[in-house]
Copies of this chain bind each other. A is one copy, B any other.
Amino acid sequence: MNRPLILVTNDDGYESRGLKHLVKLMLLLGDVVSISPDKPMSAKGHSITTTPTLEAKLLNARPGFREFVCNGTPVDCVKMGYQVLLDATPDLVVSGINHGSNASSNVIYSGTMGAAIEACMDGLNAIGFSLDSYDPEAYLDHLDDYIVSISKKVLAEGLPKNVCLNVNFPAWNGQPFKGLKVCRQAMGRWVEAYTPSVDENGRPCLKMGGRFVFEDGGGDTDFEALNDNYVSLVPTHFDMTARHCIEQMRHFEHLFN
């Protein structure tokens, strides 16, 4: 039987430790093609490049592994990888390991999850892996069993149509994870603070900072699972319809009838 074909990408760029770690793990499971941005692309969400500027360069090739770098966004990487660089349909697309949590509403801003969701829109099995630590040197080895087991299960069984996985890991705190929890996305938001700064040319500008405000509860959210040292897994789709409000909104139809 052929080895599975696995496409790997991320949003922190081709030099990040998270990407290299994920490639190393995926090589245990199949042939790997890595295509990632040539520079950090955090918080690029589902952004795509519509100008004629895209290119992909081959950085490394050996049997069972090819590594490309692309001058687009994470979503561009998936589109280019799938539709230009690969000869076959990948059995799995994995994105990460992101340096920073993509739990709760971070999923909306995340380039890592943008890539996974794009692959899902293309009908592919896709998983985003993220670590709840912004430290680029953060310890990663405690994730290995989880990443390999989840990926093997998806390779073996597939995922429901139009659904991908948003998997987040607590940072290493000296204790093994308590397990994995299937969760819903917590409701929360960033409250920004803009501080005066200077750009690379010394010109005055603003820099965005912020703090995350958790506005949810109930014990079934990804944010709470992470805080309790569980790995969180949220089945994620790209249907943003607030279905619970459709009937409630019908009165808008009467404005014009």
Main secondary structure of the interface of A (DSSP, over half): mixed
Contact B242 A240 (CB under 8 A): no
Assuming the A-B contacts A121-B105, A236-B242, are A55 and B256 also in contact, with contact meaning beta carbons closer than 8 angstroms in the complex?
no
A24-32, A44-52, A59-67, A91-99 - interface stretch: A44-52
Nearest Cβ in chain B — how far from A163, in angstroms? 5
Interface size range on A against B: 35 or more
A residues 4-62 in Cβ contact with B at 8 Å: 42-55
- Is A177 an interface residue, CB under 8 A from the partner? yes
Q: How many copies does the complex hold?
A: 2
Nearest Cβ in chain B — how far from A166, in angstroms? 8
Q: Out of B182, B240, B256, name the residue touching A146 (CB < 8 Å).
A: B256
Contact A205 B52 (CB under 8 A): yes
Contact B105 A163 (CB under 8 A): no
Q: Considering the chains assembled together, what is the distance between the CA atoms of A163 and B243 in angstroms? A: 10
Contact A252 B105 (CB under 8 A): no
20 A–B pairs (Cβ distance < 8 Å), ordered by A: A43-B47, A43-B49, A45-B75, A46-B47, A47-B73, A53-B199, A54-B206, A105-B238, A108-B117, A153-B255, A160-B242, A162-B242, A163-B242, A180-B256, A182-B252, A182-B253, A187-B239, A231-B256, A233-B249, A237-B245
